[in-house]
Chains A and B, each alone.
Chain A
Protein backbone atom coordinates (compact mmCIF):
# COMPACT_ATOMS: atom_id res chain seq x y z
CA UNK A 1 0.00 0.00 0.00
CA UNK A 2 1.54 3.25 -1.15
CA UNK A 3 0.47 6.07 1.14
CA UNK A 4 1.25 9.74 0.59
CA UNK A 5 3.48 11.38 3.21
CA UNK A 6 1.27 12.34 6.13
CA UNK A 7 2.23 16.00 5.77
CA UNK A 8 0.52 15.97 2.35
CA UNK A 9 -2.76 14.97 4.04
CA UNK A 10 -2.33 17.67 6.62
CA UNK A 11 -1.68 20.28 3.94
CA UNK A 12 -4.63 19.19 1.85
CA UNK A 13 -7.23 18.71 4.57
CA UNK A 14 -6.10 20.95 7.43
CA UNK A 15 -8.64 23.67 6.66
CA UNK A 16 -11.63 21.34 6.20
CA UNK A 17 -10.83 19.46 9.38
CA UNK A 18 -10.40 22.66 11.37
CA UNK A 19 -13.65 24.16 10.09
CA UNK A 20 -15.39 20.89 10.84
CA UNK A 21 -14.06 21.03 14.40
CA UNK A 22 -15.22 24.62 14.90
CA UNK A 23 -18.64 23.89 13.43
CA UNK A 24 -19.31 20.67 15.33
CA UNK A 25 -17.25 20.92 18.53
CA UNK A 26 -17.34 24.71 19.00
CA UNK A 27 -14.69 27.40 19.15
CA UNK A 28 -13.53 26.54 22.65
CA UNK A 29 -12.99 22.86 21.77
CA UNK A 30 -11.86 23.27 18.17
CA UNK A 31 -8.12 23.21 18.85
CA UNK A 32 -8.42 20.06 20.96
CA UNK A 33 -10.68 18.40 18.40
CA UNK A 34 -8.19 19.28 15.65
CA UNK A 35 -5.17 17.93 17.50
CA UNK A 36 -6.92 14.77 18.72
CA UNK A 37 -8.11 14.08 15.18
CA UNK A 38 -4.68 14.37 13.59
CA UNK A 39 -2.92 12.41 16.33
CA UNK A 40 -5.45 9.58 15.99
CA UNK A 41 -5.09 9.71 12.21
CA UNK A 42 -1.29 9.59 12.45
CA UNK A 43 -1.51 6.61 14.79
CA UNK A 44 -3.75 4.64 12.42
CA UNK A 45 -2.24 5.82 9.15
CA UNK A 46 0.33 3.10 8.35
CA UNK A 47 -2.35 0.39 8.71
CA UNK A 48 -4.81 2.17 6.46
CA UNK A 49 -6.16 -0.25 3.85
CA UNK A 50 -7.52 2.17 1.29
CA UNK A 51 -6.27 5.62 0.45
CA UNK A 52 -8.97 6.56 -2.05
CA UNK A 53 -11.04 8.77 0.22
CA UNK A 54 -8.84 10.24 2.86
CA UNK A 55 -11.12 13.23 3.50
CA UNK A 56 -14.00 10.98 4.58
CA UNK A 57 -11.58 8.93 6.70
CA UNK A 58 -10.23 12.05 8.44
CA UNK A 59 -13.65 13.58 9.02
CA UNK A 60 -14.90 10.25 10.39
CA UNK A 61 -12.16 10.52 13.01
CA UNK A 62 -13.01 14.18 13.66
CA UNK A 63 -16.70 13.24 14.00
CA UNK A 64 -15.79 10.74 16.72
CA UNK A 65 -13.45 13.19 18.45
CA UNK A 66 -16.14 15.85 18.50
CA UNK A 67 -18.48 13.36 20.18
CA UNK A 68 -15.77 12.43 22.70
CA UNK A 69 -15.18 16.09 23.51
CA UNK A 70 -18.87 16.82 23.98
CA UNK A 71 -19.03 13.80 26.26
CA UNK A 72 -15.89 14.40 28.31
CA UNK A 73 -16.67 18.06 28.98
CA UNK A 74 -20.02 16.98 30.35
CA UNK A 75 -21.71 20.02 28.91
CA UNK A 76 -24.79 18.01 28.12
CA UNK A 77 -25.87 14.39 28.00
CA UNK A 78 -24.61 12.23 25.17
CA UNK A 79 -26.68 13.30 22.19
CA UNK A 80 -29.03 10.68 20.82
CA UNK A 81 -29.91 9.96 17.25
CA UNK A 82 -33.55 10.98 17.60
CA UNK A 83 -34.65 14.38 16.43
CA UNK A 84 -35.21 16.86 19.25
CA UNK A 85 -38.46 18.79 19.47
CA UNK A 86 -36.65 21.92 18.31
CA UNK A 87 -33.14 23.20 18.24
CA UNK A 88 -32.13 24.09 21.77
CA UNK A 89 -31.05 27.63 22.41
CA UNK A 90 -27.28 27.75 22.02
CA UNK A 91 -25.37 27.99 25.25
CA UNK A 92 -23.72 31.38 25.41
CA UNK A 93 -20.21 30.10 26.12
CA UNK A 94 -19.82 28.38 22.77
CA UNK A 95 -21.01 31.24 20.60
CA UNK A 96 -18.26 33.52 19.39
CA UNK A 97 -19.24 37.14 18.97
CA UNK A 98 -18.82 37.15 15.23
CA UNK A 99 -20.39 33.78 14.60
CA UNK A 100 -23.93 33.42 13.34
CA UNK A 101 -26.24 31.64 15.75
CA UNK A 102 -26.91 29.15 13.01
CA UNK A 103 -23.70 27.27 13.77
CA UNK A 104 -24.51 27.22 17.44
CA UNK A 105 -27.82 25.59 16.50
CA UNK A 106 -25.99 23.08 14.29
CA UNK A 107 -23.92 22.03 17.29
CA UNK A 108 -27.10 21.19 19.20
CA UNK A 109 -28.12 18.63 16.57
CA UNK A 110 -27.48 14.91 17.12
CA UNK A 111 -23.90 14.10 16.03
CA UNK A 112 -24.69 12.40 12.72
CA UNK A 113 -27.02 15.21 11.72
CA UNK A 114 -24.59 18.00 12.52
CA UNK A 115 -21.81 16.20 10.66
CA UNK A 116 -24.13 15.56 7.72
CA UNK A 117 -25.34 19.18 7.60
CA UNK A 118 -21.78 20.52 7.72
CA UNK A 119 -20.44 18.17 5.07
CA UNK A 120 -23.30 18.84 2.66
CA UNK A 121 -23.69 22.57 3.04
CA UNK A 122 -20.09 23.67 3.59
CA UNK A 123 -18.08 21.02 1.74
CA UNK A 124 -20.68 20.02 -0.83
CA UNK A 125 -19.76 16.42 -0.09
CA UNK A 126 -21.34 13.80 -2.39
CA UNK A 127 -23.67 11.33 -0.66
CA UNK A 128 -21.51 8.23 -1.28
CA UNK A 129 -18.65 9.97 0.53
CA UNK A 130 -20.95 11.15 3.32
CA UNK A 131 -22.32 7.61 3.67
CA UNK A 132 -18.80 6.26 4.07
CA UNK A 133 -18.00 8.95 6.62
CA UNK A 134 -21.13 8.14 8.66
CA UNK A 135 -20.66 4.38 8.12
CA UNK A 136 -24.23 4.24 6.93
CA UNK A 137 -26.20 3.71 3.73
CA UNK A 138 -26.63 6.58 1.31
CA UNK A 139 -30.32 6.69 2.23
CA UNK A 140 -29.44 7.08 5.88
CA UNK A 141 -26.95 9.82 4.99
CA UNK A 142 -29.68 11.67 3.10
CA UNK A 143 -32.03 11.29 6.03
CA UNK A 144 -29.46 12.74 8.41
CA UNK A 145 -29.06 15.81 6.21
CA UNK A 146 -32.82 16.16 5.86
CA UNK A 147 -33.63 15.73 9.55
CA UNK A 148 -30.88 18.12 10.53
CA UNK A 149 -32.06 20.79 8.15
CA UNK A 150 -35.66 20.31 9.26
CA UNK A 151 -34.74 20.86 12.89
CA UNK A 152 -32.66 23.91 12.03
CA UNK A 153 -35.46 25.36 9.92
CA UNK A 154 -37.86 25.20 12.84
CA UNK A 155 -35.73 27.51 14.93
CA UNK A 156 -34.67 29.79 12.12
CA UNK A 157 -36.15 32.74 10.26
CA UNK A 158 -34.50 33.97 7.05
Chain B
Protein backbone atom coordinates (compact mmCIF):
# COMPACT_ATOMS: atom_id res chain seq x y z
CA UNK B 1 0.00 0.00 0.00
CA UNK B 2 1.16 3.49 -0.71
CA UNK B 3 1.95 5.01 2.64
CA UNK B 4 2.40 8.56 1.44
CA UNK B 5 -0.59 10.84 1.54
CA UNK B 6 -1.33 12.36 -1.82
CA UNK B 7 -2.71 15.89 -1.75
CA UNK B 8 -4.97 15.30 -4.72
CA UNK B 9 -6.40 12.12 -3.27
CA UNK B 10 -5.64 9.62 -6.02
CA UNK B 11 -4.65 6.62 -3.92
CA UNK B 12 -6.88 3.62 -3.70
CA UNK B 13 -7.42 4.41 -0.05
CA UNK B 14 -8.62 7.92 -0.70
CA UNK B 15 -12.25 6.95 -1.10
CA UNK B 16 -12.31 5.02 2.13
CA UNK B 17 -10.44 7.86 3.85
CA UNK B 18 -13.04 10.33 2.66
CA UNK B 19 -15.82 8.15 4.06
CA UNK B 20 -13.94 7.77 7.34
CA UNK B 21 -13.27 11.50 7.59
CA UNK B 22 -16.93 12.17 6.94
CA UNK B 23 -17.82 9.72 9.72
CA UNK B 24 -15.36 11.44 12.08
CA UNK B 25 -16.80 14.84 11.25
CA UNK B 26 -20.28 13.45 11.75
CA UNK B 27 -19.46 11.87 15.08
CA UNK B 28 -17.79 15.10 16.19
CA UNK B 29 -21.34 16.29 16.71
CA UNK B 30 -21.46 13.83 19.61
CA UNK B 31 -18.58 15.62 21.32
CA UNK B 32 -19.87 18.14 23.85
CA UNK B 33 -20.28 21.68 22.60
CA UNK B 34 -18.97 23.34 25.67
CA UNK B 35 -17.56 22.57 29.08
CA UNK B 36 -19.85 22.92 32.08
CA UNK B 37 -20.10 26.59 33.11
CA UNK B 38 -18.76 25.60 36.51
CA UNK B 39 -15.38 24.85 34.92
CA UNK B 40 -14.81 28.56 34.26
CA UNK B 41 -15.40 29.37 37.90
CA UNK B 42 -13.06 26.59 39.01
CA UNK B 43 -10.45 27.77 36.54
CA UNK B 44 -10.55 31.35 37.85
CA UNK B 45 -10.36 30.16 41.46
CA UNK B 46 -7.38 27.94 40.74
CA UNK B 47 -5.66 30.70 38.76
CA UNK B 48 -6.11 33.01 41.73
CA UNK B 49 -4.87 30.38 44.19
CA UNK B 50 -1.73 29.88 42.09
CA UNK B 51 -1.06 33.61 41.82
CA UNK B 52 -1.81 33.65 38.09
CA UNK B 53 -4.87 35.88 38.11
CA UNK B 54 -3.48 39.40 37.85
CA UNK B 55 -6.80 41.06 36.99
CA UNK B 56 -10.26 39.69 37.80
CA UNK B 57 -13.30 41.44 36.41
CA UNK B 58 -17.06 41.34 36.44
CA UNK B 59 -19.91 43.39 35.09
CA UNK B 60 -22.43 45.11 37.34
CA UNK B 61 -25.84 46.42 36.33
CA UNK B 62 -26.47 49.86 37.75
CA UNK B 63 -28.87 52.75 37.23
CA UNK B 64 -26.03 54.29 35.20
CA UNK B 65 -25.85 51.32 32.86
CA UNK B 66 -23.53 48.37 32.91
CA UNK B 67 -20.25 48.88 34.74
CA UNK B 68 -17.09 46.84 34.33
CA UNK B 69 -15.34 46.43 37.67
CA UNK B 70 -11.84 44.99 37.88
CA UNK B 71 -9.56 44.08 40.76
CA UNK B 72 -5.99 42.97 41.24
CA UNK B 73 -4.92 40.95 44.30
CA UNK B 74 -4.23 44.36 45.93
CA UNK B 75 -7.69 45.77 45.45
CA UNK B 76 -10.20 47.41 43.17
CA UNK B 77 -8.32 48.89 40.22
CA UNK B 78 -10.91 49.95 37.67
CA UNK B 79 -14.57 50.91 37.37
CA UNK B 80 -15.74 51.76 33.85
CA UNK B 81 -18.96 52.86 32.25
CA UNK B 82 -19.54 50.78 29.14
CA UNK B 83 -22.13 52.85 27.28
CA UNK B 84 -19.56 54.60 25.11
CA UNK B 85 -16.81 52.02 25.42
CA UNK B 86 -17.33 48.32 24.86
CA UNK B 87 -16.07 45.95 27.56
CA UNK B 88 -13.40 44.76 25.17
CA UNK B 89 -11.80 48.24 25.08
CA UNK B 90 -11.66 48.40 28.86
CA UNK B 91 -10.09 44.94 29.01
CA UNK B 92 -7.57 45.85 26.29
CA UNK B 93 -6.57 48.87 28.35
CA UNK B 94 -6.09 46.69 31.45
CA UNK B 95 -4.14 44.13 29.44
CA UNK B 96 -1.81 46.82 28.14
CA UNK B 97 -1.35 48.77 31.35
CA UNK B 98 -1.46 46.04 34.00
CA UNK B 99 -1.22 42.47 32.74
CA UNK B 100 -2.77 40.25 30.04
CA UNK B 101 -3.58 37.67 32.74
CA UNK B 102 -7.20 38.77 32.91
CA UNK B 103 -10.19 36.55 33.62
CA UNK B 104 -13.85 37.18 34.23
CA UNK B 105 -14.21 36.08 37.85
CA UNK B 106 -17.34 37.55 39.43
CA UNK B 107 -16.75 35.79 42.74
CA UNK B 108 -13.51 37.78 43.20
CA UNK B 109 -15.59 40.95 43.00
CA UNK B 110 -18.43 39.98 45.32
CA UNK B 111 -17.65 42.75 47.82
CA UNK B 112 -17.34 45.45 45.18
CA UNK B 113 -20.54 44.37 43.47
CA UNK B 114 -22.46 44.24 46.75
CA UNK B 115 -21.22 47.65 47.88
CA UNK B 116 -22.07 49.24 44.54
CA UNK B 117 -25.57 47.72 44.68
CA UNK B 118 -26.03 49.09 48.19
CA UNK B 119 -24.73 52.52 47.18
CA UNK B 120 -27.11 52.78 44.23
CA UNK B 121 -29.97 51.57 46.44
CA UNK B 122 -29.25 54.42 48.88
CA UNK B 123 -28.15 52.07 51.64
CA UNK B 124 -24.43 52.87 51.65
CA UNK B 125 -22.52 56.14 51.90
CA UNK B 126 -18.96 54.83 52.13
CA UNK B 127 -17.09 52.25 50.13
CA UNK B 128 -15.11 49.92 52.30
CA UNK B 129 -12.96 48.35 49.61
CA UNK B 130 -9.20 48.05 49.26
CA UNK B 131 -8.06 50.18 46.32
CA UNK B 132 -5.19 49.44 43.96
CA UNK B 133 -3.99 52.79 42.60
CA UNK B 134 -1.84 51.13 39.91
CA UNK B 135 -3.56 53.02 37.09
CA UNK B 136 -2.74 56.42 38.57
CA UNK B 137 0.56 58.28 38.61
CA UNK B 138 2.06 61.41 40.08
CA UNK B 139 -0.17 64.45 40.33
CA UNK B 140 -3.22 62.51 39.12
CA UNK B 141 -2.75 60.09 41.97
CA UNK B 142 -2.49 62.94 44.50
CA UNK B 143 -5.64 64.60 43.17
CA UNK B 144 -7.57 61.33 43.30
CA UNK B 145 -6.37 60.51 46.81
CA UNK B 146 -7.60 63.96 47.89
CA UNK B 147 -10.91 63.32 46.11
CA UNK B 148 -11.34 59.98 47.83
CA UNK B 149 -11.61 61.87 51.13
CA UNK B 150 -14.64 63.96 50.11
CA UNK B 151 -17.57 62.54 52.08
CA UNK B 152 -20.92 61.37 50.72
CA UNK B 153 -23.26 64.30 50.19
CA UNK B 154 -20.45 66.89 50.33
CA UNK B 155 -18.78 68.62 47.43
CA UNK B 156 -15.46 70.26 46.76
CA UNK B 157 -14.01 72.36 43.93
CA UNK B 158 -11.27 71.84 41.37
CA UNK B 159 -9.29 74.58 43.11
CA UNK B 160 -9.60 72.88 46.49
CA UNK B 161 -8.50 69.46 45.32
CA UNK B 162 -5.59 71.08 43.44
CA UNK B 163 -4.58 72.71 46.69
CA UNK B 164 -4.93 69.50 48.69
CA UNK B 165 -2.87 67.72 46.05
CA UNK B 166 -0.10 70.22 46.78
CA UNK B 167 -0.37 72.43 43.69
CA UNK B 168 -2.94 75.16 44.38
CA UNK B 169 -2.45 76.77 40.97
CA UNK B 170 -2.85 73.58 38.95
CA UNK B 171 -6.61 73.85 38.76
CA UNK B 172 -6.88 72.81 35.14
CA UNK B 173 -4.49 69.88 35.70
CA UNK B 174 -6.67 68.82 38.61
CA UNK B 175 -9.66 68.80 36.25
CA UNK B 176 -7.73 66.62 33.82
CA UNK B 177 -6.72 64.28 36.63
CA UNK B 178 -10.35 63.88 37.68
CA UNK B 179 -11.32 63.23 34.07
CA UNK B 180 -8.83 60.38 34.03
CA UNK B 181 -10.19 58.82 37.23
CA UNK B 182 -9.95 55.02 36.75
CA UNK B 183 -12.38 54.44 39.62
CA UNK B 184 -15.46 56.63 39.09
CA UNK B 185 -18.23 56.37 41.71
CA UNK B 186 -15.87 54.70 44.23
CA UNK B 187 -13.38 57.56 44.06
CA UNK B 188 -16.07 60.26 43.98
CA UNK B 189 -14.87 62.64 41.31
CA UNK B 190 -18.54 63.54 40.80
CA UNK B 191 -18.32 65.47 44.10
CA UNK B 192 -15.90 67.99 42.59
CA UNK B 193 -17.59 71.06 41.10
CA UNK B 194 -16.51 74.40 39.70
CA UNK B 195 -15.94 77.24 42.12
CA UNK B 196 -19.32 78.96 42.28
CA UNK B 197 -21.31 75.74 41.99
CA UNK B 198 -21.39 74.99 38.25
CA UNK B 199 -21.20 71.24 37.68
CA UNK B 200 -18.07 71.19 35.52
CA UNK B 201 -17.43 68.07 33.48
CA UNK B 202 -17.69 64.31 33.85
CA UNK B 203 -16.04 61.64 31.75
CA UNK B 204 -19.07 59.36 32.00
CA UNK B 205 -21.36 62.14 30.79
CA UNK B 206 -22.82 65.06 32.71
CA UNK B 207 -26.19 63.34 33.23
CA UNK B 208 -24.38 60.69 35.26
CA UNK B 209 -22.77 63.32 37.44
CA UNK B 210 -26.20 64.86 38.01
CA UNK B 211 -27.68 61.46 38.84
CA UNK B 212 -24.99 60.76 41.43
CA UNK B 213 -25.31 64.20 43.02
CA UNK B 214 -29.10 63.75 43.23
CA UNK B 215 -28.62 60.30 44.74
CA UNK B 216 -26.47 61.92 47.42
CA UNK B 217 -28.92 64.75 48.02
CA UNK B 218 -26.63 67.49 46.72
CA UNK B 219 -28.94 68.29 43.82
CA UNK B 220 -32.68 68.27 44.27
Contacts and interface: CB of A to CB of B under 8 A. Distances in A.
B5 A146 contact: yes
A68 to B, nearest CB: 16
Size category, A interface: 35 or more
Interface stretch (B87-95, B116-124, B130-138): B87-95
A122 interface: yes
B104 A15 contact: no
Interface residues of B, number: 45
Given A45-B100, A102-B27, A121-B24, A31 B39 contact: yes
A121 B40 contact: no
A46 B19 CA distance: 43
A20 to B, nearest CB: 9
Interface in B34-63: 34-36, 39-40, 42-43, 46-47, 50, 52-53, 55, 57
Interface string A85-114: 000000000000011101100100000000
B198 interface: no
Nearest to B42: A35
Interface stretch (A57-65, A69-77, A148-156): A148-156
Nearest to B46: A39
B50 A15 contact: no
Contacts of B88: 5, 8
Given A5-B88, A15-B34, A18-B34, 14 more contacts: A4-B92, A7-B103, A19-B32, A23-B31, A42-B47, A42-B101, A45-B100, A99-B31, A103-B30, A103-B31, A122-B24, A143-B5, A145-B5, A149-B20
